[in-house]
Structure 1
């Protein structure tokens, strides 16, 4: 029984990873040149939240370091 459940879990996880990769490939094709998925997710987050967010608050929301978020915000600012 455990082997069957493990096999099913592994197969399901493999399918999820495949779908994830297909979605990432499609997004890479349609995003404006130079825009990364991380940029899109930050912009989407800002568009759907009320009030201003500091880089530290955004970093906490996305479970990344403040430095990583500052880097992402810097790239967004440069790209306009």
Structure 2
């Protein structure tokens, strides 16, 4: 299953359809829903965030202890 499919299923099962925000995944497992994509330093590098429109971002740089440096869009800007 792709990250978007996992995020979509999680939204449906948790009642977050139509609420906006993003589902954050790490290694294919749902970690959380957050209302706004922010604070990359709260996530380790390699996390993926997916919104309801199908856009995704990945945390990059940094390390597990200090968190990531930024959210990088996976789609063309």
Give the TM-score normalised by the residue count of structure 1: 0.29
Q: Which has the higher contact order (CA 8 A, sep 6+)?
A: 2
Decide which structure has the larger Cα Rg and report it. Answer: 1
Q: Which has the higher helix share?
A: 1
Give the TM-score normalised by the residue count of structure 2: 0.30
